[in-house]
Amino acid sequence: MSQLQRIAIAPSQFQQGQILLTKEQQHYLGRVLRLREGDRFIAMDGKGKWWLAQLAGEQAQVLEALLVETELPVSITLMVALPKGNGFDEVVRCCTELGVTCIAPVLSDRTLLHPSLQKLERWRRIAAEAAEQSERSFVPTILEPVTFNTGLSFANSQQYICVARGEFPHLKDCLQHKGQRTNDIGQERIVIATGPEGGWTTQEIENAIAFGFQPVSLGRRILRAVTAPVVALSLITAACEV
Amino acid sequence: MSQLQRIAIAPSQFQQGQILLTKEQQHYLGRVLRLREGDRFIAMDGKGKWWLAQLAGEQAQVLEALLVETELPVSITLMVALPKGNGFDEVVRCCTELGVTCIAPVLSDRTLLHPSLQKLERWRRIAAEAAEQSERSFVPTILEPVTFNTGLSFANSQQYICVARGEFPHLKDCLQHKGQRTNDIGQERIVIATGPEGGWTTQEIENAIAFGFQPVSLGRRILRAVTAPVVALSLITAACEV
Mean pLDDT of A35-62: 89
Q: Which tens digit of pLDDT belongs to each residue from B80-114?
A: 998 878 889 999 999 999 999 899 999 998 886 67
Tell me, yes or no, if the pTM score tops 0.90. no
Interchain contact B234–A (C-beta under 8 A): yes
Higher pLDDT, residue A71 or A78: A78
Domain A75-240: CATH architecture, name and number where available: 3-Layer(aba) Sandwich (3.40)
Interchain contact B134–A (C-beta under 8 A): yes
Residue B178 pLDDT more than 60?
no
Q: Label residue B3 by pLDDT band (50, 70, 90).
A: low
> Do residue B223 and residue A98 have CB atoms under 8 angstroms apart?
yes
- Find, among A13, A17, A228, the residue nearest to B94 by Cα: A228
In this predicted structure, what is the pLDDT of residue A116?
Answer: 83
Interchain contact B90–A (C-beta under 8 A): yes
| Residues of A whose CB is below 8 A from B2 | 165
CA dihedral defined by B113, B118, B123, B124, rounded to 10 degrees?
140
Cα–Cα distance list, A148 to A72, A109, A191, A201 (Å): 26, 8, 13, 11
- Find, among B191, B188, B154, B148, the residue nearest to B171 by Cα: B191
* B182: Cα separation from own chain's centroid: 25
* B217: Cα separation from own chain's centroid: 21
Rounded Cα distance between A23 and A59, Å, is 10
Q: Label residue B234 by pLDDT band (50, 70, 90).
A: very high
Count other C-beta atoms under 10 Å from residue A147's C-beta: 12
| Residues of A whose CB is below 8 A from B171 | 238
In this predicted structure, what is the pLDDT of residue A9?
Answer: 86
Count other C-beta atoms under 10 Å from residue A68's C-beta: 17
Q: How high does pLDDT run on average in chain A?
A: 88
Distance from CA of B153 to the nearest CA of A (A): 29
Determine which of B139, B173, B221, B224 to mutate to test the interface with A (most A C-beta atoms within 10 Å). Answer: B221
Interchain contact A84–B (C-beta under 8 A): no
Q: Label residue B168 by pLDDT band (50, 70, 90).
A: very high
Interchain contact B82–A (C-beta under 8 A): no
Determine which of A1, A135, A197, A231 to mutate to test the interface with B (most B C-beta atoms within 10 Å). Answer: A231
Distance from CA of A98 to the nearest CA of B (A): 7
Domain positions in chain B are: 6-66, 75-240
Determine which of B71, B223, B227, B236 to mutate to test the interface with A (most A C-beta atoms within 10 Å). Answer: B227
DSSP letters spanning A128-166: HHHHHHTT-SBPPEEPPPEEHHHHHHH--SEEEEE-SSS
Residue A119 pLDDT more than 50?
yes
Q: Label residue B184 by pLDDT band (50, 70, 90).
A: very low
In words, the CATH class of domain A6-66 is mainly beta
In this predicted structure, what is the pLDDT of residue A187?
Answer: 52
Burial zone of B213 (CB within 10 Å; 0-12 exposed, 13-18 middle, 19+ buried): buried
Q: Label residue B182 by pLDDT band (50, 70, 90).
A: very low
Q: Which tens digit of pLDDT belongs to each residue from A149-197?
A: 888 987 777 899 999 988 899 999 998 655 444 444 445 789 999 999 9
| Residues of B whose CB is below 8 A from A198 | none
State which H helix or E strand residue B210 sits in: helix B202-210
Count other C-beta atoms under 10 Å from residue A102's C-beta: 22
> Do residue A223 and residue B171 have CB atoms under 8 angstroms apart?
no
Q: A81-90, A106-115, B34-43, B175-184 — which is least confidently predicted?
A: B175-184
